[in-house]
Structure 1
Amino acid sequence: MPDLDPRHLRYLIAVAETGSITRAARRLMMTQPALSRALQALERTVGVPLLVRRSQATGLTEAGSVLLADAYELVERSRAAIERARGAYSGAETLTVSAPVCDVLAVSAAGRDFEAGHPGVRVHVVPRGWPERPEELGATAADVAILRDCFDRGNLIVDPLAREPRSVLLPAGHPLAARESLTVADLRDEPVTYWDGMSAAEADHWSGADADPHPRRHGPRVRDTTEVIAAVVLGRAIVFAHGTTLPADELPGLRVRPVEGLTPSTLEIGVPAGARNPLAERFVAHARAGWAPAGR
């Protein structure tokens, strides 16, 4: 069986996160034809189609979504190995912080600021996909976990970090899209996208049922952000999202509106219980004192 090229896994991640080969190529600073050839090579290596290529967006097949879940771990394990090797050579101490993809920019900024005040320390940020799974803290050998709307904190000691208001993403042609603001009750009968493996608490928060206990309608099942956006643009569902997951610019076919009464998104920071790490505790204190979410 041929070996996977780690670069190709990074390319798959970029396409999944941007929803477009063109946008992924810009992020990766390579040409679109070169990226397309690399993705085709990855599909040949795996032996099954991984991408669904559409005129306006590129999504993942079921096989692509399965590979994507492992791709994050494989790429980050490679990066962590390199960081540990560099740290061993330079004598630097490495602190590994696991964070949701949507919060990586803010966590990386906090890491750089922490490094500036702690010479000889490197902060290595490991991105995680959604939904949150505290057990990934152990899986990635992280010292600190950043948790977004996580209701099963596992064996973690957790402190609050931030609370962000959530908005609703609507199809541009939706009857409510013309209004400047909405309430949770206005949207109670709308179908909402859902993710596999959600706990009851996560599902209630995701759909707004924790703020308005009205039976919610299940919209389409989604596996990544691209599928969430596609479901909204195609008029199949709505979705509630916090600031760092909202599109930087209003996309064609999509409208973002504030929602009164919607439970905010909660960001927390945790360390493993029973495994005291003074450096991790200093990072937690530093992050809580100076947390500054990355702007859009």
Structure 2
Amino acid sequence: MADLELRHLEYLVAVAETGSITRAARRLMLTQPALSRALRALERTVGVPLLVRGSRATELTPAGSELLKDAYDLLDRSRVALARARGTETVTVTAPACDVVAVAAAGRDFEARHPGVAVNVVPRDWLSTEALRAGAADVAILRDSFDRRGLAVEPIMDEPRMVLLGAGHPLGARERLTVADLRDETFTYWSGMSGAEAAHWTGSDVDGRPRRQSVRIGSVTDVLAAVALGRAVVYAHGSTLPELLPGMQVRPVEDLSASRLEVGTSARDAGPAARRFVEHILRWTAWRA
């Protein structure tokens, strides 16, 4: 049997989390053909199909789902082994792509205060607590609705949300909007969203009325493209929004629920370095700058 390559496991994780070979290739900074070849090589090594390749999405087979569970553990163990060999301790932190810059800055500050500890920040396009539960991450930066089972979670702050509109959207003529003004708009949705997540991200958690969700997305880039092309509107928290978004308008929404930023660890297996990093994040005033 051919040897199992760790990079192939990283590719499997990327496909599982993005739901698409195209989006996974973008995250991994590979060409799509190169990623497809590597995934076929992984399937040959395992000896069974791992992926169901569809025209719009790629899903894991039952065998692929089983391998994914071990992939998180194997990748984490390899990082820990390298850190030990280098004489350093590693804290792996997952974070939504919109929060990576702030988390990376907090990580650098933590490293300066704790010599011998390295912070490894892993971006996620969507909320993912599976890496935390599987032991592939020590800490997760989390937002809004997510599955809290088996996690110890601390709140960092609440942040107002706004709406992103296309440049030509008629509601852009108003300075302020309400959830009712946007009730009939089309919203984006992520594969695998729970009902609570969908309600939060479309505003139906405010009035209990379901919204249209007809634009499926798999990355932050997809979100911005859907808005810029006038196919959907999106609620977003302020720290995701640069001062200038070409082709888009940003408007306050008066009665929209806030975005809650939180930090989580495993309720059972958080190590001392992970707990110190959580304490650092909770004290780190740059979040509110």
TM-score clears 0.5: yes
1:292 corresponds in structure 2 to 286
Structure 1 Cα separation of the partners of residues 155 and 165 of structure 2:
30
CA contact (8 A) 1:183 1:261 kept: yes
CA 126–191 in structure 1, closer or farther in 2 if over 3 Å, else same: same
2:257 corresponds in structure 1 to 263
Deviation at 1:76, TM superposition (A): 9.3
Of the three residues 122, 125, 141, the one matched with 2:121 is: 125
Of the three residues 188, 195, 203, the one matched with 1:193 is: 188
CA contact (8 A) 1:156 1:272 kept: yes
CA contact (8 A) 1:83 1:124 kept: no
CA 163–99 in structure 1, closer or farther in 2 if over 3 Å, else same: same
CA contact (8 A) 1:4 1:45 kept: no
- How many positions carry a matched residue from both structures? 261
Matched, 1:96 2:89: no
CA contact (8 A) 1:114 1:286 kept: yes
Deviation at 1:277, TM superposition (A): 2.1
Matched, 1:234 2:229: yes
Structure 2 Cα separation of the partners of residues 175 and 4 of structure 1:
52
1:154 corresponds in structure 2 to 149
Structure 1 Cα separation of the partners of residues 270 and 5 of structure 2:
37
CA 43–156 in structure 1, closer or farther in 2 if over 3 Å, else same: closer
Structure 2 Cα separation of the partners of residues 248 and 84 of structure 1:
39
Structure 2 Cα separation of the partners of residues 111 and 79 of structure 1:
20
Q: Where do residues 76-87 of structure 1 align in structure 2 (5 Å cutoff)?
A: 83-87=79-83
Matched, 1:115 2:111: yes
Identify which range, 213-222 or 258-267, moves more after superposition. 213-222
Of the three residues 270, 276, 280, the one matched with 1:282 is: 276
CA 89–43 in structure 1, closer or farther in 2 if over 3 Å, else same: closer
Amino acid paired to 2:220: T
Q: Deviations over 1:81-109 (max 9, x none)?
A: 77535422332121222222221111111
CA contact (8 A) 2:73 2:136 kept: no
Structure 2 Cα separation of the partners of residues 101 and 179 of structure 1:
30
CA 193–64 in structure 1, closer or farther in 2 if over 3 Å, else same: same
CA 236–215 in structure 1, closer or farther in 2 if over 3 Å, else same: same
CA contact (8 A) 1:168 1:258 kept: yes
Q: Which runs of 5+ in 2 are unaligned?
A: 19-25, 41-54
1:31 corresponds in structure 2 to none
Deviation at 1:138, TM superposition (A): 2.9
1:216 corresponds in structure 2 to 211
CA 249–80 in structure 1, closer or farther in 2 if over 3 Å, else same: farther
2:52 corresponds in structure 1 to none
Of the three residues 173, 176, 197, the one matched with 2:171 is: 176
CA 250–133 in structure 1, closer or farther in 2 if over 3 Å, else same: closer
Amino acid paired to 1:275: D
CA 80–243 in structure 1, closer or farther in 2 if over 3 Å, else same: farther
Deviation at 1:45, TM superposition (A): 6.0
Q: Which runs of 5+ in 1 are unaligned?
A: 17-23, 29-34, 48-60
CA 208–272 in structure 1, closer or farther in 2 if over 3 Å, else same: same
**Identity of counterpart residues, as a percentage?**
52
Calculate the aligned-residue CA RMSD, in Å: 3.9
Deviation at 1:229, TM superposition (A): 2.3
Moved over 4 A (4+): 3-9, 38-47, 63-66, 75-83
